[in-house]
Amino acid sequence: MNITSSHIEEHNKKAVEDHNDAFDALTHQLHKQNIDIDSLIGQAGAFQVAIPSWALGAGGTRFGRFAMGGEPRSLEEKIKDVGLLHALNHSSGAISLHIPWDIPKDSGAVKELADKYNLVFDAVNSNTFQDQKGQKHSYKFGSLSHTKQEVREQAIEHNIEVIRYGKELGSKALTVWLADGSSFPGQQNFSKALQNTRESLGSIYKALPQDWQMLIEYKPYEPNFYSMVIPDWGTSFLLANKLGERAKTLVDLGHHLPNTNIEQIVAILLMEGKLGGFHFNDSKYGDDDLTTGSLKPYQLFLIFNELIGGTSNPEQLRNHIAWMIDASHNVKDPLEDLLQSVEAILQAYVKALLIDRDKLQAVREDNDPAGAQEILQSAFQTDVRPLLTEARIRHQAAANPVQLYRELNVRKQLINERGTESMATGL
């Protein structure tokens, strides 16, 4: 299944009249605020969000999994699916691989295929939270933090192997997420476990190419329910500081206890030059891995407010942070879900660009919280969808990606090609 330029043209031709009306109205509205819409369209069009290779099939919960049919059966098919997304929205031009779920057998050929779809390889993710067939030592009681040196060494070697794969594909970052921790009081020596982790990460850091970053992800609970070795941004930040300049913190939006002020964490990490990347998703209760922006679009906007407010160079921001989605799809078609997530991220980004920074600065100086809210709400309540549509049209992508996906019956075609039982690797 390929999306061709004539599919796009035909779809856009039908959409253009309504789009032009909405776009003209928005142009007029922004013009009155002295905002240059063309510059915003350029910035929106340049923003790329990496798609996780592990989220292209049906996810599941520990209670069950409902197959959706047409799931990619190989890394090559995963790349094709991300290619479909990128053809539809022009904003999904990168793929983030999880090893060993997606080991490239022939890196040259895999790279060539990705090139064909204008995709690059974003951060590679290691996996020491599951045991693989034939693996010598088990990770049941941890990996980089394990009490036994031989287990730690095996986990270190795995991460170095992931770097090797990433190098072959042109990745520039390794993301490390550890499930290590304990489920019962007394089970683990907290400080020893963290010390082991630091030393293990140090060995991996030594193997990191000079132009790479190590992204350290944190999570407060699950799969361990009493303690996690890297439970929060403070611990990740501590490790990143001890490791060196190229080690940074990765913020997965689902990895916080309820009501945590994520935007404040983002602001501090950015200020310290330690914000390495994001795993975008949304949640109501825990690490729910739901569609980004489906529950808390305002929080997402506030995060982008801190990002834009904390940098003098939006281009550098776009290029130096790993923007990735980390989601799981139990009831939605993953491809539709990912299109919706990317759209929500772009909306939050562009709305944050609309904020009048001088005025915000002035009301802060005046200690005027109501004034601050007026400024934020005025940007957040602006409907920027016509601007994003225009960016897509200018890049020969679909005016309405989800609509075209449905018009073309993409899922049905994928089922015809791959069958109803095909199952993608991942969680």
Candidates 160, 295, 402, 427: give the one binding ligand PSV (CB under 6 A): 427
Task: Give the binding site for Mn ion (CB under 5 A).
Answer: 252, 279, 326
User: What is the C-alpha to C-alpha distance for residues 333 and 313, in angstroms, rounded to an integer?
Assistant: 36
Q: Which of the choices ligand PSV, Mn ion, none does residue 380 contact, using the CB cut-off of 5 to 8 A by kind?
A: none
Residues 78-137 that bind ligand PSV (CB under 6 A): 125
Binding mask 333-352 for ligand PSV (x = CB under 6 A): --------------------
Six-digit token pair at 31?
């013009």
Candidates 287, 306, 336, 390: give the one binding ligand PSV (CB under 6 A): 287
Beta bridge partners of 275: 249
**142: left (phi > 0), else alpha (psi -120 to 50), else beta?**
left
**Helix runs in 90-125, H state only:** 107-116
392-423 per-residue burial string, b: 16 or more CB within 10 A, e: under 16: bbeeebbbbbbebbeebebbeebbeebeeebb
Q: How far is the CB of 214 from ligand PSV (least distance, A)?
A: 14
Q: How far is the CB of 176 from ligand PSV (least distance, A)?
A: 9
Beta bridge partners of 139: none
| 218 contacts ligand PSV (rule: CB under 6 A) | no
For residues 16 and 160, which CB has a smaller minimum distance to ligand PSV in the complex? Answer: 160
Candidates 122, 252, 282, 306: give the one binding ligand PSV (CB under 6 A): 252
Q: How far is the CB of 29 from ligand PSV (least distance, A)?
A: 38
For residues 306 and 326, which CB has a smaller minimum distance to ligand PSV in the complex? Answer: 326
Q: Which of the choices ligand PSV, Mn ion, none does residue 422 contact, using the CB cut-off of 5 to 8 A by kind?
A: none
Q: Which residue has tokens 């309820």?
A: 258
| 177 contacts ligand PSV (rule: CB under 6 A) | yes
Q: How far is the CB of 93 from ligand PSV (least distance, A)?
A: 21
For residues 217 and 343, which CB has a smaller minimum distance to ligand PSV in the complex? Answer: 217
Q: How far is the CB of 281 from ligand PSV (least distance, A)?
A: 8
* CB-CB contact of 126 with 165 (8 Å): no
Q: How far is the CB of 170 from ligand PSV (least distance, A)?
A: 20
Binding mask 371-400 for ligand PSV (x = CB under 6 A): ------------------------------
Residues 6-65 that bind ligand PSV (CB under 6 A): 54
For residues 80 and 219, which CB has a smaller minimum distance to ligand PSV in the complex? Answer: 219
Virtual CA dihedral for 40, 41, 47, 51, nearest 10 degrees?
Answer: 130
| 256 contacts ligand PSV (rule: CB under 6 A) | no
Six-digit token pair at 143?
């990996």
| 263 contacts ligand PSV (rule: CB under 6 A) | no
Q: Which residue has tokens 């009306």?
A: 21
Helix and strand numbers (H, E) in the chain are 16, 10
* Eight-state DSSP code of residue 55: G
- Our measurement of the distance from residue 277's CA atom to the centroid of its chain's CA atoms, rounded to an integer in Å, reads 8
Candidates 77, 102, 326, 337: give the one binding ligand PSV (CB under 6 A): 326
* Of 272, 300, 276, 323, the residue nearest 379 (C-alpha): 300
* CB-CB contact of 350 with 44 (8 Å): yes
Q: How far is the CB of 76 from Mn ion (least distance, A)?
A: 24
User: What is the C-alpha to C-alpha distance for residues 104 and 108, in angstroms, rounded to an integer?
Assistant: 9
| 217 contacts ligand PSV (rule: CB under 6 A) | yes
Virtual CA dihedral for 13, 19, 21, 23, nearest 10 degrees?
Answer: -130
For residues 81 and 287, which CB has a smaller minimum distance to ligand PSV in the complex? Answer: 287
For residues 280 and 380, which CB has a smaller minimum distance to Mn ion in the complex? Answer: 280
Q: How far is the CB of 328 from ligand PSV (least distance, A)?
A: 7
H/E element, 205? helix 190-206
Q: Are strands 213-217 and 173-176 parallel, antiparallel or unpaired?
A: parallel
353: Cα within 13 Å, side-chain hemisphere: 26
Q: Which of the choices Mn ion, ligand PSV, none does residue 77 contact, using the CB cut-off of 5 to 8 A by kind?
A: none
* CB-CB contact of 212 with 172 (8 Å): yes
Q: How far is the CB of 422 from ligand PSV (least distance, A)?
A: 19
Enumerate binding residues for ligand PSV (CB under 6 A): 54, 125, 177, 217, 219, 252, 279, 287, 326, 427
